[in-house]
Structure 1
Amino acid sequence: MKKIFAANWKLFKTPKETREFFAQFKEVANKATGELVFFPSAISLEAASTSLTGTTIKWGAQNCYFQASGAFTGENSAQVVKELGGSYVLIGHSERRKIFGETDALIAEKVAFTQGLGLTPMLCIGETLEEREASHTFRVLETQLYLGLAKADKTKPVVIAYEPVWAIGTGKVATPEQVAETHTDVFNILSKLGFAQSPILYGGSVKPDNAAGLIKQPHVNGFLVGGASLEVKSFSEIAAV
């Protein structure tokens, strides 16, 4: 299965900074050992689109609504992402769940809608520290996958990004043993649901110094990278493992 190295820029980088980043990154992109995907902030999507025209580097939106247009102030249109040349939509990130109150039912609508447009949803799942310490990790991930993929088309691509909430932006990272165990669980759940061919990415304080060890774990098909993807050097090193 191909590796995927995805960058979630969250609410960082202006259009100008986006163009400057890609001007530098394109010079080292050929060192990557898998597919490259960037998720800029909404206002920088067109800057990414124009910067990456003619390259093999993919990009997408960090969020979308489950309708192409309408009276939905502040939402992003997956149809616009497609028309600009995007390939992916990040769906169900823990910050969308926690800060903006997104439910599994809403997430399922978004997954199905983006697939219907020919885009690839990257569905994020993950447990909190309290849930892990209470030994509820498997149950939480099973529920998020079962409900999030409830309306998904098994014949169309979907990528899963496992991000333990307690390891996002905290500097903490799951041990290789924890990642191996959890990714195996996720793979087994996906297999039961009919999505055994879906790549599973790991996210959660991935950096150049831990990427090589993590990528060797079973069912780790790449990474969804936050802070370390904002710099050309660090993200290119991660994508080269």
Structure 2
Amino acid sequence: MAGITTSISQSSGNADLVAAAADEMHTTISEISKNTKIAEDISLKALDKTMESNKEMDEFSKTADAIEKTAETIKEISEMTNLLALNATIEASRAGAAGKGFSVVANEIKELSKQTEEATVQIKKHIAHVHQTSSKANHSMKEVTEILLQTQKIISSISIALQEQTSATREISVNIENLSTMLIEINENVGESSQVSNQISQDIGLVNHASENISSSSSKLDKNLLELKDMSVQLKRIVDKFIVN
């Protein structure tokens, strides 16, 4: 009888330890859940900003196209002006001394036309560079958007895993409470220990089952956290590359 009482005391102490561990785990899970919510909010804001930047880059690209068209129009006008200046020079030459002054003006117009044409060529080169940079930026933005979307999925998976672990720890707490109650009853009435011991075995089985659920959920959580870390590394690499460009 004394041995049974000692075993009961040991079991009660172990139950208290498991209950304390479950409470601590519940606190940790709550903290992780809180941080996950913060990460989710930040990720959503970053995704919104990225979408906004994509729209701005599209508008920037359209503006560059408009400038390129304007430069092309200026080039055409310059070519026409150059042709008119050439015709004016020919006519001034035919007029002899009377057209000498006009010939000088025509040559100046021709020179200005040439400079305008050279300037439009430079503008087109700059526009081409802008298009190239815009294209790279758009590509980087798409990569960032994709990573943020994957990050959202991982965060959702983490949230589900946390919910599963929370449920499992609650189940452990309930079963430990039942177990403690049964141990108290055994201690009060050892004569009925056989029936109560069966109930204890069932409760311990439930505790073990809940513990297995926690282990499984923890594995999922670890996997999701590793995936989230990988996504963060990829995102930093893309952002760094974009800054360098």
> Which band: TM-score by shorter chain?
under 0.3
TM, length-normalised to structure 2? 0.19
Whose strand proportion is higher, 1 or 2? 1
The structure with the largest alpha-carbon Rg is 2
Higher relative contact order (CA 8 A, sep 6+): 2
